[in-house]
Amino acid sequence: MKLWQKDKIALQEVEQFTVGNDSNLDLLLAPFDVLGSLAHVKMLATVGLLTKEELLLLEQALKNIYQEIEQGGFKLSEGMEDIHSQVEWMLTQRLGDVGKKIHSARSRNDQVLVDLKLYMRSEIEKLVLNTKALFDLLQSQSELYKDDLLPGYTHLQLAMPSSFGLWLGAYAESLVDDLVSLQSAWEIVNKNPLGSAAGYGSSFPINRTLTTSLLGFEALHHNVVYAQMSRGKTERVVASAMANIAASLSKLSMDACLFMNQNFGFISFPDELTTGSSIMPHKKNPDVFELIRSHCNRIQALPNEIRMMTTNLPSGYHRDLQLLKEHLFPAFSNLNACIEMTGLMLSNVKIKKDLLKDPQFQYLFSVEEVNRLVLSGMPFRDAYKKIGKDIESNQFTYTASLKHTHEGSMGNLHTKEIASMMNQVLARFDFAQVHSAIQALLA
């Protein structure tokens, strides 16, 4: 069934090509389509397009459909084009002509926009909660290993002493910035496009402010043309924020792959978290981190994929936008899986103690020795030259005793301050307001 069908049937090949995999992806939008319809019918009743009796019938039927979706087993009937058609067909089957009234004052264009906004809002919340859990783990591991030294590198050459605590804490703070960008995406997502219809509004006296409140949106997409233009742009902004999280995980995974390498040998994991070789019995491969790296690199390409699919579209709706779901929807589950697997691995990491006692790392302490001379009164450039000559003449001596006290250094990780930054970012996600609105809508 097609909402737009008149008296002619599309060629089967055309229908298959235009629908593609969209009906399967639409199942993910099912609960949100019902929520959007619940808000819409409440609004229609306030402007006289539904009677009180019709409203009660539609609300109860929609809530029943929502429960069916939540219980599982809900699917699109054969021949049904999309979730919007399915819900309207079910209402019509159960309520007769009353069910046909649900589409007054809206288009599939603003209907799918609402569904997408609600879906992305829900997925962002899952990402935030998972990212916060990984952040907490990184912070606790950072404190646990703050006194265990680790070689620091620049250009992949030995540079200066670091610590496992400093390394893990760096990725914790990276996630703070990643959630700042995700919070910006949340603000763009959390706007109501309902009532923009096909992209040019409606002659009905609808109340878009009311549906904004009912659906827990923070704001309204005021201009109806821009509401439609936001499709594609919103997905790209969300994908960019996801790419930032993915970049942090990918870099951490690359570090882990290097540090597990026998030539480094800085960290290890239990056998059950690594894989072996079909012919080399000694192998313990970092397959989990390698796959996290690859998944996350693919997610980093997602914003550009969306940009290339939408870059030359004029204003108004275009069928090109349908394909964005095929790229964006799987990325949410993939990124969440990567976050969770990173947490599993780091929860079981084993670090090598006393790494820097090995003489191969002696030159990591060259800057420390320069600084000691400076503290004794020698000008920095003279101290630098002296230590350089000592190294060249094999006269270099050092002590592994370190005293780093400034903010954010090995001896002063600023774990609490970083946690405070994270809490400030989290406070800007108004999840409670959204939950309250949706609960009221379903009551």
Instruction: List, by residue number, the catalytic residues.
Output: 155, 277
Contact present, 1 and 81 (Cβ < 8 Å): yes
| Number of CB atoms found within 10 A of residue 328's CB | 23
Q: Which residues of 336-356 are buried (b: 16+ CB within 10 A; e: fewer)?
A: bebbebbbebbeebebeeebb
| Number of CB atoms found within 10 A of residue 257's CB | 18
Say how far apart CA 410 and CA 399 lie, in whole Å. 17
Spatial CA neighbour of 9 closest among 75, 76, 79: 79
Residue carrying the six token digits 């006269």: 395
**Angle at CA of residue 272, ends 352 and 245, nearest 5°:** 75
Contact present, 232 and 324 (Cβ < 8 Å): yes
What is the 3-state secondary structure of the chain? CCCCCCCCCCCHHHHHHHHCCHHHHHHHHHHHHHHHHHHHHHHHHHCCCCCHHHHHHHHHHHHHHHHHHHHCCCCCCCCCCCHHHHHHHHHHHHHCHHHHHHHCCCCHHHHHHHHHHHHHHHHHHHHHHHHHHHHHHHHHHHHHCCCCEEEEEECCEEEEEEEHHHHHHHHHHHHHHHHHHHHHHHHHHCEECCCCCCCCCCCCCCCHHHHHHHCCCCEECCCHHHHHHHHHHHHHHHHHHHHHHHHHHHHHHHHHHHHHCCCCCCEECCHHHCECCCCCCCCCECHHHHHHHHHHHHHHHHHHHHHHHHCCCCCCCCHHHHHHHHHHHHHHHHHHHHHHHHHHHHHCCEECCCHHHCHHHHHHHHHHHHHHHHHCCCCHHHHHHHHHHHHHCCCCCCCCCCCCCCCCECCECCHHHHHHHHHHHHCCCCHHHHHHHHHHHHC
